[in-house]
Amino acid sequence: MAVMAMAAALRGPSGRFRWRTQATAGGVRGSARGAAAGRQDYNLLVIGGGSGGLACAKEAAQLGMKVAVVDYVEPSPRGTRWGLGGTCVNVGCIPKKLIHQAALLGGMIRDAPHYGWDVAQPVLHDWRKMAEAVQNYVKSLNWGHRVQLQDRKVKYFNIKASFVNEHTICGVTKGGKETLLSAEHIVIATGGRPKYPTHIEGALEYGITSDDIFWLKESPGKTLVVGASYVALECAGFLTGLGLDTTVMMRSIPLRGFDQQMSSLVTEYMASQGTRFLKHCTPSRVQKLPDGQLQVTWEDLTSGRENMGTFSTVLWAIGRIPETRSLNLENAGINTSPNSQKILVDAQEVTSVPHIYAIGDVAEGRPELTPTAIMAGKLLARRLCGQSLDVMDYSNVPTTVFTPLEYGCVGLSEEEAMARHGEEHVEVYHAYYKPLEFTVAERDASQCYIKMVCLRKPPQLVLGLHFLGPNAGEVTQGFALGIKVPGPQACLEPLLMESLGGGAGPPTSR
Ligand SMILES: Cc1cc2nc3c(=O)[nH]c(=O)nc-3n(C[C@H](O)[C@H](O)[C@H](O)COP(=O)(O)OP(=O)(O)OC[C@H]3O[C@@H](n4cnc5c(N)ncnc54)[C@H](O)[C@@H]3O)c2cc1C
């Protein structure tokens, strides 16, 4: 009874719990206990308004649950901030793909005279104009997400959440105001953020990450991209395509986890387009010169020599860390992986606490991709509402790297296939091909390549498909369907032949 009175006293006009830390610390305990006793504000509370969180919240609300979403963007160390929608919308897939398109257009303008267009030279690119257009589009998506939440009666809070107990979170606004929210079910979909190297002098002070590059108002100029991830190569690719002097510094192999033959072709093509690569090198210091330029010192791991170079921008693309650190997961008893700090989940996305779930980039073992986060969120909502028992199938998810020559793949890399099945049981069909649009424009097609990794034993089940060439995303999706949908896979060969376009010979096995 005393607990109920305390909880009632702490309720704000909207019926939600409101509380200020020090003044009513006892009240927090009371309301939190009240929530644990079964008087929750919401059926479902989603922490994180990104790809997975928004999809889950909207689906659950549509199916009749009382739902709230809390989302808060901690500004990047450079001070960049953005709106609702998460990584993909604001600092990931969407702006990346649009700037990739801007870079591809540069290539098409160079092709255009071959096709009869009289293009006045020189053709210049205006970063400011592009950035404004991209940023305005992203802002329209932020607005669209807010409207969609409103339409579906999902309550949105712009607060940073952390757990008070297993049914209650405390959210803090930008201005420091605190709110307590409780729910029967809680979904954690807080994603991740780019990693900064902690041991390199000047890295945090002078460097930027993918959280900043898409929001720059001015061109980054001569850029050093540090890293070999897909984010590193995609950023370096579009910067080169926009005409900027771009260098990629990598310690070891490009695109770890992807097929290594394909990865080498990706970087080979980038080098042919003007991206410089400093392989087996690692930066040790970044210093700001009086003229504002950044002087980077690095070690060449092969020769052991120290080198220096000057850049306008240094972009760290050395990986991402899950957003679990400030969630106070221990207050709810949620377990994380000691290595990755990601939240441990089972096939139903359930954490170590039965009514708390984790989806998307923050969950251990999940692909860091938007469509999988969205689908996982929708399926979870349907299960929570008793509409379905379906769980997300994370196998054979197609993915594309949007480098200047795009690389799409689905299934196993050649290395993985051999490791799993033994080299003697794997057969690889492959072909170099020339995309039709490269012919008239006399583009070099040396790296346009496709390979199919199969089991040798008939009926030669396709384990993986790898495609390097224009529109790889669209091409791979088609093949993915053939690989994903059970049934005879013989249909893949005509598809493969079709995709090779004019002039290519039949794929050969090796
Ligand atoms: C440069 C780049 C390019 C990418 N390109 C692609 C691509 O082409 N295709 C693709 O499929 N994927 C791409 N991705 C990956 C994709 O963006 C992510 O996989 C996807 O956004 C993950 O969704 P999510 O819901 O797990 O998290 P997010 O979309 O990251 O959303 C998490 C949200 O939670 C918020 N949050 C975090 N902590 C709290 C808290 N304590 N309280 C309240 N809110 C919080 C965050 O601010 C964020 O808004 C790219 C990523 C990057 C960085």
DSSP track, 224-240: EEE--SHHHHHHHHHHH
- 261: confidence class by pLDDT, cuts 50, 70, 90: very high
Atom of ligand 1 nearest to the CA of 361: 26
234 assigned to a ligand binding site = yes
Decide which of 20 and 506 is more confident: 506
Global pTM reads 0.90
Least Cα distance to 54 among 210, 214, 172, 187 occurs for 187
Closest CA to 402 of 472, 490, 498: 472
User: Could you identify the atom of ligand 1 that is nearest to the CA of residue 235?
Assistant: 1
The pLDDT tens digits for 345-402 are: 999 999 999 999 999 999 999 999 999 999 999 999 999 999 999 999 999 999 999 9
For ligand 1, atom 5: residue with the closest CA: 93
Ligand 1 pocket, mutate which of 69, 80, 93 (most atoms under 8 A from CB)? 93
23 pLDDT band, cuts 50/70/90, is very low
CA of 431 to the centre of ligand 1 (A): 36
Which atom of ligand 1 is found nearest the CA of 211? 53
Give the residue from 324, 378, 313 showing the smallest Cα distance to 349.
378
Query: Which ligand 1 atom minimizes the distance to the CA of 53?
Result: 25
Residue 194 near residue 210 (C-beta atoms within 8 A): yes
**Cβ(507)–Cβ(430) below 8 Å:** yes
Amino acid at 39: R
Do 377 and 86 meet the contact criterion of CB atoms below 8 Å apart?
no
From the CA of 50, how far away is ligand 1's center (Å)?
A: 6
| Confidence at residue 489, expressed as pLDDT on a 0 to 100 scale | 52
Please say if the pLDDT value at position 507 is more than 80.
no
**Residue 284: what pLDDT?**
97
Q: Is it true that the peptide bond before 194 is cis, omega within 30 degrees of 0?
A: no
pLDDT value at residue 486 = 66
In this predicted structure, the answer to whether residue 431 has a pLDDT above a threshold of 70 is yes
Choose among 48, 189, 217, 230: nearest CA to 129: 217
Closest residue CA from atom 27 of ligand 1: 191
Q: Is 232 within any annotated ligand binding site? A: yes
Q: Looking at ligand 1, which residue's alpha carbon is closest to its atom 2?
A: 92
Give the Å distance between the CA of 51 and the centre of ligand 1.
7
Centre of ligand 1 from the C-alpha of residue 336, in Å: 19
Q: What span, in angstroms and rounded, lies between the C-alpha atoms of 452 and 427?
A: 8
Q: Is 231 annotated as a binding residue?
A: yes
pLDDT at 235 over 50: yes
Å from CA of 401 to ligand 1 middle: 17
Taking CA atoms only, the protein residue closest to ligand 1 atom 51 is: 92
Cis geometry, peptide bond prior to residue 122 (ω within 30 degrees of 0): yes
Q: Mean per-residue pLDDT for 39-61?
A: 96
pLDDT of residue 508: 73
Helix (H) / strand (E) element for 418: namely helix 414-421
Of 483, 467, 487, 463, nearest to 475 (Cα)?
467
Distance separating alpha carbons of residues 159 and 174, to the nearest angstrom: 7
Q: Closest by alpha carbon to 405, among 466, 441, 451, 447? A: 447
CA 68/CA 155 separation, integer angstroms: 4
Report the nearest atom of ligand 1 relative to the CA of 327: 41
Tell how far the Cα of 2 is from the centroid of ligand 1, in angstroms: 42
**SS3 at position 343:** strand
User: Closest ligand 1 atom, CA of 84?
Assistant: 49
Torsion angle (degrees, nearest 10) of CA 402, 404, 407, 413: -100
Work out which ligand 1 atom sits closest to the CA atom of 51.
Answer: 25
| Per-chain mean pLDDT for the chain | 90
**In the predicted model, is pLDDT for residue 18 greater than 70?**
no
97 is in an annotated binding site: yes
Q: Which residues surround ligand 1 with Cβ inside 6 Å?
A: 47-53, 70-73, 86-88, 92-93, 96, 160-161, 189-191, 210, 231, 323, 326-327, 360-362, 368-371, 373
> Does the annotation place 229 within a ligand binding site?
yes
Q: With cut-offs at 50, 70 and 90, classify the pLDDT of residue 492.
A: low
Q: Is 7 flagged in the annotation as binding?
A: no
| Strand locations in 100-177 (E) | 155-157, 160-165, 168-172
- pLDDT tens, 265-307? 999 999 999 999 999 999 999 999 999 999 999 999 999 999 9
Q: Which residues contact 400 (CB under 8 A, 6 or more apart)?
A: 406, 407, 408, 409, 472, 473, 476
Nearest partner of 356 among 390, 375, 328, judged by Cα: 328
CA distance 220 to 205: 16
